Structure 1
């Protein structure tokens, strides 16, 4: 069995992940170098789906924005490398502990 090493830019706790960005960016009109995502609820997932219809990318943006408590437009301004880090962090947050 292989264990995935946690990247240096990622901090994981039971109900939250924090991503260190590759470069500071502005979220909620504040320059930040980290983004935290809280653990999602079923309500979060349903709300993200309702706001996006059949658009998978928009659904993910809506969900991440809700979990980070920022606007989807702010997340759209992230460097692709940092958005990919958010995706990795999210999947690490929701994976089963046995994996």
Structure 2
């Protein structure tokens, strides 16, 4: 029997995307935002981020998240660490395999 895990209030998960509410407003693409949405990644997204990062795992993740949110890596670097951690949690919840 599987145990249902409750999502945090700041996370809205769908099959094709996850929206994360930020604890602090940031400027992304010259617009003030309090939420970021990551679409589900494709194999192409992963490969492109891996190639562009030159073996740097942190850079790979930043490039991937920038692609999935359609926000520049520079804008993502302005996130509070708490909000970047939320983005990571949302991503990992989005890509985890469904429980049977």
Describe the SS at the equivalent of 1:65. helix
Describe the SS at the equivalent of 2:26. strand
Write out aligned runs for 1:9-88 (5 A).
9-88=10-89
Cα RMSD after superposing both structures: 1.0
CA drift at 1:27: 0.4
Name stretches of at least 5 consecutive residues in structure 2 with no aligned partner. none
Task: Give a deviation string over 1:41-99, Cα, whole Å, max 9, x none.
Answer: 00000000000011000000000000000111110000000000000000000000117
CA drift at 1:2: 3.5
Describe the SS at the equivalent of 1:51. helix
Aligned residue-pair number: 99
Name stretches of at least 5 consecutive residues in structure 1 with no aligned partner. none
Looking at structure 1, the residues matched to 30 and 77 of structure 2 have their Cα atoms a distance apart, in angstroms, of 14
